[in-house]
Chains A and B, each alone.
Chain A
Amino acid sequence: MPHVPKPSAGSPRRSARDVPSPDPIGSGEDDALAQIAQSFAANPDADVGTSDAVEPGSGGSSLDSASLLNQDETSNTEPRPTFSMAEMTDAELIAALRMIEVEDQERLPRVEVTEANGQHAALMRIDHPIKLRIRGPLGDYALAVNVQTVAKVFGEVGHGVAEGMMSGSVRVRGNAGDGAGTAQVGGTLGIYGSAGNRVGASMRGGGIFVRGNVGDDVGLGAIRGTIVIGGDAGNNVGDPHSDVAVYIRGKVSGLADGVVETSLRKKQEVQLGLLLISAGIRGDAKDFRRIVPAAKLEAENASRGEIAPNWR
């Protein structure tokens, strides 16, 4: 059985004309936020203002997954190639996906993948610029080592979703297990439910957005990238030796030693606000705090906003 957490309701979404997957996001916090926002803006997932972040202890938004799927079906009537995970092996499916011709990089082919049922290590390293919609839950290490592909999963995922992602994006309309986005190098991972422990552990770049709550050890051992958390976080959040930027709205059970909470700078506020709008999350960027290594904050303050690369 896959290690999928308990399901929660999805949130409304709408398909739209998309642009190619985003490039890896650099280490500059402001730029990183802007690029995550751009990624969500290019692939909007929900109507602005119709949903809210998962409240602590709540089951998510009021819309159920059936209405979510209906919205998706009605929003785009173009025929799409459809593949069933029940009828093909993972290797066959990936080979078939790689055969799909991409005529216009500005308008990627859309593909439906049906009958996902908790398969482990599914759809990894497709390395082809297409847009996938996967119907059903996936197991551990789903869409790992993603390169170029823009994938949306309408279901839960297990541990290690999008592990080692290089570029493209992975969005999950459900909860995720532990280690979401582990060792992510680039691209964007969006989780519209909650996630387990060690979100963004050993992250090397890119952006992670979790609409709901997360477990312990967020950003453990991460060296670069951006993590945005709409809900609460567990213990040991942040890493004193990390250059990852963690933005959080809810409560934090405990920070890691050597990291501090601080308010957002004006530019970060604007960009986080744009990200929230693009991702369809109601709320104000002012509600978020930033979690950074104390040494990095000191270096930032000493240089009046300019981050010294060697702050340690």
Chain B
Amino acid sequence: MNDDRLSELHLLPPRGQSAWRNLPVESAAQSIERRDGITVPVQVPLFWYEPAWVELPESLASQLACATSDLGVVTSGLYRDFSVQESAPEFFLSTTHQDESEDDQPESYRPRMTPYRAERFGLVPQDFDESLVIDVRFAATRDRAGRYAYSPTQMSRWERVSSAEAIAGGGLVACSSFPADIASPKQARIKLDQLRRLAPKSAVMVSVDAYHLQESLAHALTAKPDGVILRADAVEFDGLSLAKLVRDARRFLDEKSRSFRPLWVVPGKISVRDAVKLFALGANAVAIDRWCEPMVETLRELGQRSYHSVPQHEVSAMAIDHLWPCIDETLGLLSSVAKRDDGVLGSYDSRWADELDAVQLD
């Protein structure tokens, strides 16, 4: 049984009757060019956009973030999602600092993404340090119940209040729809330049909702981001809608932007083959939140049993067991479709083929 959302689309092999040629295995590694010319390397084009770190104790959250990012997945989170008593969490530390033999090597850090929400609750200056991507959110995110709000538990985690205190009266705290210190979409350009200064090694990207696609993308491009993150994870988007959104977004960025702008896509529930098809439609990185969530659930159960700390190697082993096969298959399939210009996607369904300009199969 195939429950892929994009099962009507097929990843086509090279045509057999064409002239003999090698089929090179392309690396999935890529880079993001910042507006100021600095290059930000991305080894694995997969990211975990909205982890529910609040469901785990800080130490376990940091361990899981280390485990996923060690597999190359760009993992999102704030310093205060992971730190206890303001001590630097493992996820934020250099991966080379403990190895004295590598003193001459430049320090390396795990691929981390900093969510720069409109309200900036929980954000501290350390969040800018060594982050791979600053994700400037131009649209509010819903909580699990669908509210545009943060729970008291979440706020306590971010704002470090004691259990006797309550934030804003102890209720839900509303999300904002747009950063208060950005006076206009045009002025957002200065905001993004500000963030480039605060995070000199990070790509500064802008997150937009997939609804009102052209308007959202136009606003985003006005701010001159280093890339765009398209949030198309609403459950109402069926497979064809998702595919069209990604294809249309890619076209829009190519037409309206003077230089290439990466498109990262948050698609909701997808399979490995879905992910690769999204790449073929124009995505440059794909969020894999649904692949990662079972690990949170597993660790949450451990956390409820007061296992606030599990040996890191066990968490890493869990991530490898659970996640690596999916990552490996994604990278494998991706290597087979990258840099091909002979029609990578095809469909037997004329509607899909027409809507997505895919090869009509018969």
Q: How far is the CA of A159 from the CA of B159 in the complex (A)?
A: 25
Interface contact A241-B198, CB-CB below 8 Å? no
Which residues of chain B in 4-35 are interfacial with respect to chain A, using CB atoms and an 8 Å cutoff?
none
Contact residues in B for A311 (Cβ distance below 8 Å): 166, 169-170
> Which listed residue (B119, B168, B190) contacts A183, Cβ 8 A?
B119
Tell me if A296 is interfacial: C-beta within 8 Å of chain B.
Answer: yes
Name the residue on A nearest B118 (C-beta).
A202
Q: How far is the CA of A22 from the CA of B174 in the complex (A)?
A: 29
Q: Mark B174-193, 1 if CB is under 8 A from A, else 0.
A: 10100111110001001101
Interface contact B166-A121, CB-CB below 8 Å? no
Q: Mark A48-83, 1 if CB is under 8 A from B, else 0.
A: 000000000000000000000000000000000000
Interface contact B119-A309, CB-CB below 8 Å? no
Tell me if B120 is interfacial: C-beta within 8 Å of chain A.
Answer: yes
Name the residue on B nearest A120 (C-beta).
B190
Which residues of chain B in 306-359 are interfacial with respect to chain A, using CB atoms and an 8 Å cutoff?
none
CB of B265 to closest CB in A, whole Å: 28
Tell me if A110 is interfacial: C-beta within 8 Å of chain B.
Answer: no
Q: How far is the CA of A126 from the CA of B205 in the complex (A)?
A: 24
Contact residues in B for A242 (Cβ distance below 8 Å): 168
Tell me if A147 is interfacial: C-beta within 8 Å of chain B.
Answer: yes
Interchain residue pairs A-B with the least CB separation, the first 5: A179-B181, A201-B180, A312-B169, A160-B181, A310-B170
Name the residue on B nearest A158 (C-beta).
B190
Interface contact A198-B180, CB-CB below 8 Å? yes
Interface centre among A144, A185, A223 (most CB of B within 10 A): A223
18 contacts between A and B (CB under 8 A): A3-B187, A27-B165, A124-B197, A125-B125, A139-B190, A141-B190, A141-B191, A183-B119, A183-B121, A183-B181, A201-B176, A201-B181, A202-B119, A204-B159, A223-B155, A241-B168, A296-B169, A311-B166
Known: A120-B190, A127-B125, A310-B166. A159 touches B181 (CB 8 A): yes
Contact residues in A for B120 (Cβ distance below 8 Å): 164, 182-183, 202, 204
Tell me if A224 is interfacial: C-beta within 8 Å of chain B.
Answer: yes
Contact residues in A for B170 (Cβ distance below 8 Å): 309-312
Tell me if A163 is interfacial: C-beta within 8 Å of chain B.
Answer: yes
Interface centre among B166, B180, B193 (most CB of A within 10 A): B180
Name the residue on B nearest A166 (C-beta).
B125
Q: Mark A277-300, 1 if CB is under 8 A from B, else 0.
A: 000000000000000010110010
Tell me if B38 is interfacial: C-beta within 8 Å of chain A.
Answer: no
Tell me if A275 is interfacial: C-beta within 8 Å of chain B.
Answer: no
Contact residues in A for B125 (Cβ distance below 8 Å): 125, 127, 145, 147, 164, 166
CB of B143 to closest CB in A, whole Å: 15
Which residues of chain A in 73-122 are interfacial with respect to chain B, using CB atoms and an 8 Å cutoff?
90-91, 120-121
Name the residue on B nearest A145 (C-beta).
B125
> Which listed residue (A147, A159, A224) contacts B167, Cβ 8 A?
A224
Tell me if A177 is interfacial: C-beta within 8 Å of chain B.
Answer: yes
Interface contact B183-A3, CB-CB below 8 Å? yes
Tell me if B218 is interfacial: C-beta within 8 Å of chain A.
Answer: no
Q: How far is the CA of A163 from the CA of B195 in the complex (A)?
A: 12
> Which listed residue (B123, B124, B193) contacts A121, Cβ 8 A?
B193
Q: Mark B101-120, 1 if CB is under 8 A from A, else 0.
A: 00000000000000000111
Tell me if B302 is interfacial: C-beta within 8 Å of chain A.
Answer: no
Tell me if B294 is interfacial: C-beta within 8 Å of chain A.
Answer: no
Contact residues in A for B241 (Cβ distance below 8 Å): none
Q: A120-B194, A140-B191, A182-B179 are in contact. List 8 more A-B contacts (CB 8 A).
A: A121-B193, A159-B182, A159-B187, A182-B180, A196-B183, A201-B176, A224-B159, A295-B169
Q: Mark B150-168, 1 if CB is under 8 A from A, else 0.
A: 0000010001000011111
Q: How far is the CA of A1 from the CA of B2 in the complex (A)?
A: 56
Contact residues in B for A140 (Cβ distance below 8 Å): 187, 190-191, 194
Q: How far is the CA of A229 from the CA of B160 in the complex (A)?
A: 28
Contact residues in B for A179 (Cβ distance below 8 Å): 179-183
CB of A165 to closest CB in B, whole Å: 10
Name the residue on B nearest A142 (C-beta).
B194
Contact residues in B for A166 (Cβ distance below 8 Å): 124-125
> Which listed residue (A90, A178, A204, A310) contacts B169, Cβ 8 A?
A310
Tell me if B173 is interfacial: C-beta within 8 Å of chain A.
Answer: yes
Known: A312-B168, A312-B171. A121 touches B183 (CB 8 A): no
Q: How far is the CA of A163 from the CA of B182 in the complex (A)?
A: 11
Q: How far is the CA of A139 from the CA of B187 in the complex (A)?
A: 12
Contact residues in A for B183 (Cβ distance below 8 Å): 3, 159, 177-179, 196
Q: How far is the CA of A217 from the CA of B124 in the complex (A)?
A: 24
Contact residues in B for A217 (Cβ distance below 8 Å): 180
> Which listed residue (B155, B165, B180, B197) contacts A220, Cβ 8 A?
B180
Q: How far is the CA of A3 from the CA of B188 in the complex (A)?
A: 12
CB of A237 to closest CB in B, whole Å: 14
CB of B289 to closest CB in A, whole Å: 25
Known: A125-B198, A141-B191. A204 touches B181 (CB 8 A): no
Name the residue on B nearest A242 (C-beta).
B168
Name the residue on B nearest A181 (C-beta).
B181
Contact residues in B for A124 (Cβ distance below 8 Å): 194, 197-198
Name the residue on B nearest A196 (C-beta).
B183
